[in-house]
Structure formats: C-alpha cells, structure tokens
Amino acid sequence: MSATAARGAAGSGDARSGRGYGVYAIAALFLVAGVLHFVVPRGYEAIVPPFLPARRFLVYLSGACELAGGIGVLVPRTRRAAGLGLIALLAAVFPANVQMLANAVAGGKPGWQLALLTLRLPLQLVLMYAVWRVAVRRAAGGEGVDRAA
C-alpha cells in the first residue's frame, strides 16, 4: 500500500505534519469519555440538569453515543456521519457543562475551579470545530484530502 493510499485509508491527511493524527485524537477522547460514563456514572449523573428525567439512562445514552462516535470517526465510510453526530452530542450535553459550573458555585468551590469550569464552556465550541474539521469537513472533501486551514 502506498503512503497516499495509507493516508486515504486512515482518512486523516498528512501524518508528517501532525494533522493526520487529529482523527485519532478525537476518537481517543470520545472513546475514553464514553467508557467513563459506564465506569463512573454517578459523576456524570451529578451534572445532568435537574429538569431532565432518567439521569442514569441519559448518562448511559450519552456514553454509548460517545463510544459510537469515537469508533465511527475511525472508519472512513462513517466518519462524516459520526462527526455530525458528535457535534450534535456536544450541543446536547452543553447544559450538563453549565450544570457542572452551577453545582460548583452552589458548593462554594474555590475561584480557580470556577474559572476552569467557566473556561470549559467556550471550549465546547472549540471541540465542536475540531470534530468538524477532522471528521466532517475532511470527509466531505474526499478521503485523505487535507485542505489548507
């Protein structure tokens, strides 16, 4: 298999530039997070907003979606759909990030922790962009095509 074909199979562009590893980083992030939803569900249940029912179910559902998306971005044929699904998931769980900050404020957590949780909110948009760039935009342009930033 040629180097170009190998990059096309991975669907992630030029590995020598470091851009080719983005798909693997995104996959690893979501796979680890997905597993954690099943290993320590109580931590995630605590940040499900109180207006939502069936907290444990929602934790498991979001964990399963993260696992599916993490696997899906690794497969060139499903990368675009998985990326779009992960972006939708990131939007859907944004209220949990807000709830995490609200819980910290209510719990009188130290200022540095509140600052980190506040910074986490806009980072959700950065993560959405990263998923879009690695999985959606690149997949739409053809497997292995890495357009200039």
Q: CA 132, CA 104: separation in Å to the nearest integer?
A: 30
Q: How many residues does the chain have?
A: 149
Q: How confident is the model at residue 7, as a pLDDT?
A: 45
pLDDT higher than threshold 50 for residue 145: no
Question: What pLDDT does 101 receive?
Answer: 97
Dist. CA 140–CA 63, nearest whole Å: 26
Q: Is residue 45 scored above 70 in pLDDT?
A: yes
Confidence of residue 67 (pLDDT cuts 50, 70, 90): very high
Contact 68, 85 (CB under 8 A): yes
- pLDDT score, position 142: 52
- Closest by CA to 72, choosing from 84, 59, 88, 60, is 84
Kindly report, residue by residue over 50-65, the tens digit of the pLDDT. 999 999 999 999 999 9
pLDDT at 141: 62
Q: What is the pLDDT of residues 17-37, one digit of tens each?
A: 455 799 999 999 999 999 999
Over residues 85-143, the pLDDT tens digits come to 999 999 999 999 999 999 999 999 999 999 999 999 999 999 999 999 999 986 666 54
Q: What is the mean pLDDT of residues 81-88?
A: 98
Judged against a pLDDT cut of 60, whether residue 49 lies above it is answered with: yes
- pLDDT category of residue 144 using cuts at 50, 70 and 90: very low
